[in-house]
């Protein structure tokens, strides 16, 4: 074999191997692009769903509190305490600020009974609301009817007294806060 033939065979061999190498390199590039696309889609969706966040860390644990002050009107007479108050008012109504002030001032007293609140705007409580003081009934949970801005003192599962109406409640406020 002459040098010329050897060079031709070597050149042909190099062309074949470089063609195979080029195909392998192209396959690796396509595979890398597909992997990068999948990883980038994962990160985009993870950021969108909140799995990954670049802001405030959630290391701070918030204290869990159970809200047991707001109750439904039907559970007025079945609280665990033997003696307590239940304040009925529409949380978004005209009397809301006055009733909220009474509630907050009463709970700031050093010694006080527990006071529960009932939102009369809640759909579950609407059946217990009446417009006239003549229709108010606090004998039992099944017969319960109250006006907006009412306060019931419950002792041993029975109503001890009831204050109905914003004006009467405002008049009773001084006695309550003593």
Query: Contact, 100 vs 93, CB < 8 A?
Result: no
What pLDDT, on the 0 to 100 scale, is given for residue 18?
Answer: 66
- CA distance linking residue 147 with residue 169, whole number of Å: 11
What pLDDT, on the 0 to 100 scale, is given for residue 12?
Answer: 72
Say yes or no: 50 and 88 in one domain. Answer: no
Domain presence at residue 8: yes
What pLDDT, on the 0 to 100 scale, is given for residue 64?
Answer: 67
Domain presence at residue 141: yes
Domain presence at residue 99: yes
Say yes or no: 80 and 168 in one domain. Answer: yes
Say yes or no: 32 and 87 in one domain. Answer: no
What pLDDT, on the 0 to 100 scale, is given for residue 57?
Answer: 58
- CA distance linking residue 118 with residue 125, whole number of Å: 8
Domain presence at residue 65: no
Domain enclosing residue 43, as ranges: 1-60
Cβ–Cβ contacts within 10 Å for residue 115, how many?
18
Q: Is the dihedral of CA 143, 148, 153, 156 positive or negative?
A: positive
Say yes or no: 15 and 38 in one domain. Answer: yes
CATH of the domain at 141: 3.40.30.10
| Structure tokens belonging to residue 22 | 């080029």
Domain presence at residue 135: yes
Say yes or no: 36 and 86 in one domain. Answer: no
Say yes or no: 37 and 120 in one domain. Answer: no
Among the residues of the chain, which ranges form H helices? 3-49, 96-108, 166-176
What pLDDT, on the 0 to 100 scale, is given for residue 144?
Answer: 92
Say yes or no: 48 and 105 in one domain. Answer: no
What pLDDT, on the 0 to 100 scale, is given for residue 56?
Answer: 60
Say yes or no: 107 and 172 in one domain. Answer: yes
Say yes or no: 53 and 87 in one domain. Answer: no
What kind and span of H or E run contains 115?
A: strand 114-119
pLDDT along the chain (178 residues), means of 10: 73 68 86 94 86 67 72 91 93 89 90 92 91 88 89 92 89 85
Count of structural domains within the chain: 2
Q: Is the pTM of this model over 0.85?
A: no
């Amino acid at each position: 074999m002459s040098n010329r033939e050897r060079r031709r065979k070597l050149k042909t061999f190099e062309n074949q191997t470089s063609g195979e190498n080029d195909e392998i390199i192209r396959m690796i590039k396509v595979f890398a692009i597909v992997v990068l696309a999948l990883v980038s889609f994962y990160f985009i969706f993870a950021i969108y769903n909140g799995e990954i966040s670049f802001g405030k860390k959630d290391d701070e644990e918030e204290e869990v509190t159970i809200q047991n002050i707001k109750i439904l009107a039907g559970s007025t007479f079945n609280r665990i305490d033997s003696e307590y108050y239940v304040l009925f008012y529409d949380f978004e109504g005209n009397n809301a600020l006055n009733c909220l002030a009474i509630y907050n001032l009463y709970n700031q007293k050093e010694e006080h009974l527990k006071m529960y609140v009932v939102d009369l705007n809640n759909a579950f409580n609407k059946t217990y609301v009446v417009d006239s003081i003549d229709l108010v009934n606090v004998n039992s949970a099944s017969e319960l009817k109250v006006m907006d801005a009412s306060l019931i003192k419950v002792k041993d599962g029975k109503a001890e007294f009831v204050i109905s109406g914003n004006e009467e409640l405002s008049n009773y406020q001084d006695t309550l806060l003593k």
